[in-house]
């Protein structure tokens, strides 16, 4: 054993300390810690038995389900690297991630099986390393997940993962058309779990309801923290968010914690009061709101709906982990901020374009430093260098700090759009739309939206003589872009309508403000 325990080792410890307590479950199946640990060991040994070696990547395509708990734990035990793929992606996007990660195996849920079949030809994954779960009859060309587990040993792998080994390769939206793979190691993830326990005062008796996708950093990070402390993780196993079912699940599972985006809280608040009042929320102690700005009225309504709970607000990223946190007692004293540095972090640095720290009250690019920062971008050393100044890393967000150290996010340096908690970069969408035969030019921006926080909006310059309809364009995008990336609204423009720099680049910030001034918010 080498110092800090990995999540895989901590799961083994929980199986010894509280073997009969429910460790992980979804809305259909539950496992005790002993069962979860045994199945994770079986999966780890089964994957190694296919010829995979420590450090090999295992791609995973699935909706939220309890199998994610087994897969992440199996990777943590074996030294394999989990590559979670967003289930909202379409064929070409999935292919890019699988090939870029050089995945040696792919695990797919039956509900997403056809997405893999559509792109399987030509993939470099060995033919015997496609694993399927979700229905009894395994399709031809795939190995049955349950059969693999049944035939494998439930003993701990002989060569376990070390703290310095990578655990996950999580792809983030790219600023130049393709996503980047962020490498997260065991040491950093274990440190983040410990810091989360301190910040939220977590205890073994706690029960996390994980609603956000398990392929996202948010759920992975909270999954790690609750596994580490020995709390129960309940995975909300539905393809889409059902607000009334979520409310009912709080009462049925006795959940003490969840993390949601403002859109999801808003959807629960829209459930008729009479229906909400049928459910019990007395065990809910801690709520997290993150991934997008939250309105004051939303926060107040959430606190009223969950009267026994404290509301936390979090700012972080796949790369940096948790950066700042606003605690319940600060919610209305520091409205509009995202709090101060998470415990264990160095002071945040806000830098100008020349790398100099800006004074309080002035905007600067946000750099954070913590023991759980990511290890770099997969196969992209130049992008990794750009993300770091010494031990400090950035994802390009611009913020300002007040005289008490509270951070206010004011812009996204690289025009990131956050819609319903999902990150969307305009460049990627613009590259797809530019392939339409009737489009001369296009700029994609995020516009304020009551439901989604922001919506993806395309400002399109049609080619001369083209009769381009917005509905037709949005339909054209369907096979090419994940649903959350597709424009929800389109406006037609003349070439001179797009504000540009002297070098001809579209000024997205100015265009966004121009559209808002025309009534683009809703």
Structure tokens at 96: 């890019």
* Rounded average pLDDT over 392-400: 92
pLDDT (0 to 100) of residue 474: 87
Compute φ and ψ for 504, nearest 5 degrees.
95, 0
Mean pLDDT of 414-435: 84
User: Residue 123 above 90 pLDDT?
Assistant: yes
Give pLDDT tens digits for 91-101.
999 999 999 99
In this predicted structure, the answer to whether residue 66 has a pLDDT above a threshold of 90 is: yes
CA 389, distance to chain mean position in Å, is 24
| pLDDT over 90 percentage in the chain | 76
- Residue whose entry in the numeric block shows the structure tokens 């004293």: 333
Query: Would you say 337 and 407 are in contact if contact means Cβ atoms under 8 Å apart?
Result: yes
Give the three-class secondary structure for 168.
Answer: strand
**What's the 3-state SS for 292-356?**
CCCCHHHHHHHHHHCCCCEEEEEEEECCCEEEEEECHHHCCCCCCCCCEECCCCCCCEEECCCCC
CA dist 262 and 242 (Å) reads 14
pLDDT, residue 280, reads 86
The whole-model pTM stands at: 0.87
Neighbouring C-beta atoms of residue 127, cutoff 10 Å: 9
How confident is the prediction for the chain on average, in pLDDT? 92
> What is the pLDDT, as a whole number, of residue 411?
66
Cβ 322 vs Cβ 192: under 8 Å: yes
Domains and CATH numbers, the chain: 1-185 (3.40.50.980), 345-414 (2.30.38.10), 417-517 (3.30.300.30)
How many residues in total does the chain contain? 522
Under the banding of pLDDT at 50, 70 and 90, the label for residue 175 is: very low
> Which residues in 447-456 are b (16+ Cβ under 10 Å) and which e?
bebeebbbbb
Q: Is the pLDDT of residue 504 over 70?
A: no
Q: Residue 294 and residue 314: Cα distance in Å, rounded?
A: 11
Q: How far apart are the first and last CA of the chain?
A: 55
What strands lie across the sheet with 207-210, from one edge to the other?
A: 30-32, 22-25, 232-235, 207-210, 257-260, 286-290, 310-317, 321-326, 340-341
**3-class state of residue 33 by DSSP:** helix
pLDDT per residue over 226-281, tens digit each? 999 999 999 999 988 999 999 999 989 999 999 998 889 989 999 999 999 889 89
| pLDDT score recorded for residue 127 | 93
Say yes or no to pLDDT of 192 above 60: yes
Three-class secondary structure of residue 412 per DSSP: strand
pLDDT of residue 434: 84
Work out the percent of the chain whose per-residue pLDDT is above 70: 96
How high is the pLDDT of residue 177?
59
What pLDDT does 418 receive? 87
pLDDT at 293 over 60: yes
* pLDDT tens digits, 433-453: 988 989 988 999 999 998 899
């Amino acid at each position: 054993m080498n110092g800090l325990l990995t999540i895989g080792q901590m799961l083994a410890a929980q199986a010894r300390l509280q073997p009969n307590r429910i460790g992980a479950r979804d809305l259909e199946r539950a496992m005790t810690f002993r069962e979860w640990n045994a199945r994770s060991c079986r999966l780890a040994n089964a994957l190694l038995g296919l010829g995979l070696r420590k450090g090999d990547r295992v791609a995973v395509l699935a909706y939220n389900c309890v199998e994610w708990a087994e897969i992440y734990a199996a990777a943590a035990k074996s030294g394999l690297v989990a590559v979670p793929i967003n289930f909202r992606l379409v064929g070409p996007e999935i292919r890019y991630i699988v090939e870029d990660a050089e995945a040696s195996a792919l695990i797919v849920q039956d509900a997403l099986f056809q997405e893999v079949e559509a792109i399987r030809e030509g993939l470099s994954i060995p033919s015997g390393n496609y694993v399927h779960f979700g229905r009894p009859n395994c399709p031809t060309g795939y190995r049955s997940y349950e059969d693999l587990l049944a035939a494998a040993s439930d003993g701990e792998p002989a060569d376990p993962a070390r703290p310095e080994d990578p655990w996950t390769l999580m792809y983030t939206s790219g600023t130049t058309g393709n996503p980047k793979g962020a490498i997260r190691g065991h040491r950093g993830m274990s440190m983040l779990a410990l810091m989360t326990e301190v910040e939220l005062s977590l205890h073994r008796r706690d029960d996390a309801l994980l609603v956000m996708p398990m392929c996202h950093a948010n759920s992975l990070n909270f999954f790690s923290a609750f596994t580490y402390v020995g709390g129960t993780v309940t995975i909300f196993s539905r393809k889409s968010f059902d607000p009334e079912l979520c409310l009912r699940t709080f009462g049925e599972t006795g959940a003490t914690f969840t993390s949601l985006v403002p859109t999801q809280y808003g959807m629960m608040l829209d459930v008729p009061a009479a229906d909400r009042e049928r459910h019990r929320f007395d065990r809910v102690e801690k709520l997290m709101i993150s991934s997008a700005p939250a309105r004051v009225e939303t926060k107040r309504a959430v606190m009223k709906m969950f009267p026994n709970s404290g509301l936390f607000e979090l700012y972080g990223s796949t790369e940096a982990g948790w950066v700042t946190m606003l605690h319940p007692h600060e919610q209305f004293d520091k409205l509009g901020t995202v709090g101060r540095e998470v415990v264990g972090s160095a002071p945040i640095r806000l830098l100008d374009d020349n790398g100099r720290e800006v004074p309080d009250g002035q905007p600067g690019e946000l750099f954070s430093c913590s023991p759980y920062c990511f290890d770099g971008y997969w196969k992209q050393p130049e992008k990794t260098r750009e993300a770091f100044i010494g031990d400090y890393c950035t994802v390009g967000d611009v913020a300002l700090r007040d005289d008490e150290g509270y951070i206010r996010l004011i812009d996204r340096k690289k025009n990131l759009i956050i819609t319903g908690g999902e990150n969307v970069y305009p460049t990627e969408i613009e590259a797809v739309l530019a392939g339409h035969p009737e489009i001369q030019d296009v700029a994609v921006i995020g516009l304020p939206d009551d439901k989604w926080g922001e919506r993806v909006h395309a400002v399109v310059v049609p080619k001369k003589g083209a009769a381009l309809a917005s509905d037709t364009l949005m339909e054209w995008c369907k096979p090419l872009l994940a649903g959350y990336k597709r424009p929800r609204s389109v406006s037609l423009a003349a070439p001179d309508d797009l504000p540009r720099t002297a070098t001809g680049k579209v000024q997205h910030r100015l265009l966004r403000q121009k559209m808002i001034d025309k009534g683009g918010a809703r």
